[in-house]
Amino acid sequence: MKYRQILPTMLSALGLAIATVTVAIAAVPSPTPGQLQRYDIGTTYVSGVSSGGYMANQLHVAYSSVFQGAGIFTAGPYECAQGDATANTAQFACMKTYQARKTPAQLEQLTRDRATAGTVDPVAGLSGDKVYLYHGTNDQTVVQAVNDDLATYYRDFGSNVVYDRTSPAGHAWVSPLGPVACASTASPFINDCGNDPERAMLGHLFGSVNAASTTSLTGKLIQFDQRGYAPGGSAAAISMGDEGFAYVPAACSAGQSCRLMVTLHGCKQGYRYQSIGDTFMKDAYLNEYADTNNMIVLYPQAIAASTGTIVNPNGCWNWWGYGGDAAYAQHGGAQITAIMNMVGALRGTSPTPTPTPTPTAPAACTTASNYAHVQAGRAYQSGGVAYATGSGQNLGLWNVFVFSTLKSTAPGYWVKC
């Protein structure tokens, strides 16, 4: 068990006093290979940060009949990016506000039109749903005005919104376990601000919440194959990893009724992104609440991809329409379909996933200069640095003098040997 100090600062007339609160945590369990199976799921929620926050909103809007509420850290309203696959609208209107963006009223009408067409669930499903929003005052990646639009969007549909915008956080998921200073915006984008937004979020969504566990975690972190849940059986083709994860407390495995929380990492936070690994799952401070509140946490995984029509070097969730997926925010969207298939497997409402392909012989390794790798499509360059296509792994300088050895683990997905 590890102990981390949470140091909220308190000012008084006598000077600076520091109150120390010790949070006991157990490292996230090592992944246990397995499959998603049916549990006794009562209610289902979704949460996420940044691109995962945008995707959480898309899931909630598209399937409000399934999700009873949402917790979203630093993201904007539904369809803000307007399907602009170049990501210009996403970057300059829905993260920064250099360009004009659709108003909440316009996006609400778009949602109503889609509900009428049957491509998202009826908007009445959002009325009364509990929504928790969080945005830090030092977050200049997704500015507050955009996050404010999300609050307006939900409130106009009758959702019960709690919106915390007083924290000095940078652009991040905020957690008592965060390794990053509160006001910073830095990898792995999990910040410690001396508070506990997870307790606030879950307390609002559930109505009440038991304190987080301070002993060793009871459950298992199941590592499952995402490919069978993806349309066509290829997760890599839609910028998702081959592996996904679900934290299942012992009580849920024993048959007790449990909640389900789908939690979506942000850009540069996925399991396969460079050296991130299990950091988000470990430090998000959800497993500790899962144990004491009978909550399964599903952690789907997006990956970096820069091949064909997909330009997603940072492993973001699809909230602007990359890959030519016109339905990315609706029923039938590729990533939405994959995630909903996982939710269905856990709830016992979807068929057995598509069998994954039979494993092939290990891929051969190719050694070449970084310049040659880029020319052959095994890598791409940005700012004079070469990155492996698909995985986004840093290969070093893009020139004919620096050599790397790569192999392909899926179509359009290259990793270091």
Catalytic residues: 50, 139, 171
CA angle at 208 for the pair 207 and 212, rounded to the nearest 5° = 140
Exposed/middle/buried for residue 344 (C-beta within 10 Å: 0-12, 13-18, 19+): middle
Alpha-carbon span 203 to 205, nearest angstrom = 6
CB contact set of 351 (below 8 Å; sequence gap of 6+): none
Within a 13 Å sphere around the CA of 90, how many CA atoms are in the beta-carbon half? Answer: 18
Q: Which of 295, 392, 301, 389 is nearest to 338 (CA)?
A: 301
Q: Which of 407, 380, 383 is nearest to 310 (CA)?
A: 380
**Residue 388: helix, strand or coil by DSSP?**
strand
Question: With contact defined as beta carbons under 8 Å apart, do 294 and 249 qualify?
Answer: yes
**Strand partners of residue 405:** 367
> Which segments of 149-254 are extended strands (E)?
160-164, 173-174, 180-181, 190-192, 220-225, 243-248
